[in-house]
């Protein structure tokens, strides 16, 4: 027992440790992707952690057992101290990943990041086609991305190529894979867009049909069969069409901790949209206290918070009740069963969203591009 009531145990997946640390260094970004997972109000969040504050977060997280580290944003290359932070993370023993659009990167800076100890780079690329990429991100960056992928490989980094799958690019699956193979990419992730923040604003315009998803998956399977083990390809059908929700970050506050640019500590990158939870800041508390004792991180651990049918469901150890942010956005209560699950009493909301997204006139509405004040 604690003074706040029964203690909610950490899941065993990470042996009670935040194995994955996600550092959102900044919400600043030169691109305007209409599916961005940053908050709609990102423009008002300006008080970024300093270099020394980030270094303290890294030290405390590593002491707590964190192993994998993702530098992300926004665009992390905007931060002039990125190399210094990578070097500190490497000194502490983290396996460091950079999640980037490559805008702000050149061969010289890439060399500095390698010298600092960066281990892996994940690059977003929206299409094999320049017009599609440039239109979707709101900037003429396609060729720069291609050039930087070649340079990243030339400097010896393993590369994860990430494609955010939307209606506008899903027909490009095979051509995209051919380009990835030609570039020598190690891993390709077809990341079907999840509908939070900017993606939720644009859901009707972005959502592919089930038929398009099946055709894309078939194209991927055919490509896998043809190339064998030369490149690893990941594809997961979005939970809007799957009948079951994805495991929420392997369980709320189980193995992943996100630190937002202003120091807010979150169980996932979307969680700050949840009203009613007071997420702690690393400026006010230690990482250890946040992970082990903060009420916000305890809220949805374990299963004593679950409502029916989740509480008695024999699949709750697989999906941990689904996504709390999705439940909140679609039902108004983060503790409700995730509507993505066919067992949820709110599953009809997913069906309604699919119907609305596939109305014949949906293409007549322009995408709302990510930019301050656009929401």
Strand order in the sheet with 265-266: 232-235, 187-192, 159-165, 120-124, 95-100, 68-72, 20-24, 256-259, 265-266
Q: Which residues participate in the annotated binding site? A: 29, 33, 36
Q: CA angle 287-259-292, nearest 5°?
A: 30
The torsion defined by the Cα of 196, 60, 45 and 137, in degrees rounded to 10, comes to: -50
The torsion defined by the Cα of 48, 51, 54 and 56, in degrees rounded to 10, comes to: -140
Write out the two tokens for 188. Answer: 């390709």
Rounded distance, CA 192 to CA 170, Å?
Answer: 9
Rounded distance, CA 138 to CA 153, Å?
Answer: 26
- For the chain, the distance separating the N- and C-terminal CA atoms, rounded to the nearest angstrom, is 43
Rounded distance, CA 313 to CA 33, Å?
Answer: 37
CB proximity list for 345: less than 8 A, separation 6 or greater: 309, 337
CA atoms within 13 A on the CB side of 175: 11
Q: Which residue has the tokens 């930019």?
A: 371
CB 366 within 8 A of CB 204: no
User: DSSP secondary structure string, 184-233?
Assistant: T-SEEEEEEPP-SHHHHHTHHHHPPPHHHHHHHHHHHHHHHHHHTTSSEE
Torsional class of 321: left (φ above 0), alpha (ψ -120 to 50), beta (otherwise): left
Q: Which residues participate in the annotated binding site for [4Fe-4S] cluster? A: 29, 33, 36
CB proximity list for 191: less than 8 A, separation 6 or greater: 162, 163, 164, 165
């Amino acid at each position: 027992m604690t003074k706040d009531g029964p203690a909610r145990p950490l899941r065993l997946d990470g042996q009670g440790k935040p194995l994955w640390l996600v550092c959102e260094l900044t919400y600043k970004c030169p691109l305007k992707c209409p599916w961005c997972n940053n908050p709609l109000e990102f423009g008002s969040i300006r008080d970024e952690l300093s270099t020394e504050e980030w270094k303290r977060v890294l030290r405390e997280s590593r002491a707590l057992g964190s192993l994998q580290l993702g530098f992300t944003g926004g665009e992390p290359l905007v931060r002039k101290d990125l190399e210094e932070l990578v070097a500190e993370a490497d000194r502490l023993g983290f396996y460091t990943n950079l999640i980037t659009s490559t805008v702000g990167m050149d061969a010289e800076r890439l060399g500095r990041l390698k010298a600092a100890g960066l281990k892996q780079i994940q690059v977003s690329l929206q299409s094999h086609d320049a017009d599609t990429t440039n239109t979707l991100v709101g900037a003429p960056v396609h060729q720069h991305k291609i050039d930087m992928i070649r340079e990243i490989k030339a400097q010896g980094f393993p590369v994860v190529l990430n494609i955010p799958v939307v209606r506008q690019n899903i027909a490009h699956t095979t051509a995209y894979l051919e380009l990835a193979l030609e570039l020598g990419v190690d891993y390709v992730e077809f990341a079907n867009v999840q509908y939070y923040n900017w993606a939720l604003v644009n859901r009707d315009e972005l959502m592919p049909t089930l038929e398009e998803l099946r055709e894309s998956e078939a194209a991927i399977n055919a490509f896998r069969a043809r190339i064998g083990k030369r490149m690893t390809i990941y594809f997961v059908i979005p939970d809007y069409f799957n009948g079951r929700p994805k495991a929420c970050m392997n369980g709320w506050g189980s193995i992943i901790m996100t630190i937002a640019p202003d120091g807010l500590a979150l169980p996932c990158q979307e969680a700050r949209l949840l009203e009613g939870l007071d997420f702690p800041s690393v400026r006010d508390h230690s990482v250890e206290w946040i992970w082990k004792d903060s009420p916000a991180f305890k809220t949805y651990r374990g299963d004593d918070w679950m409502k029916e049918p989740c509480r008695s469901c024999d699949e709750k150890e697989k999906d941990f009740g689904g996504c709390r942010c999705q439940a909140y956005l679609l039902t108004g209560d983060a503790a409700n069963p995730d509507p993505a699950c066919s067992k949820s009493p709110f599953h009809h909301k997913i069906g309604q969203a699919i119907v609305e997204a596939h109305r014949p006139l949906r293409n007549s509405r322009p995408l709302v591009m990510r930019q301050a004040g656009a929401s």
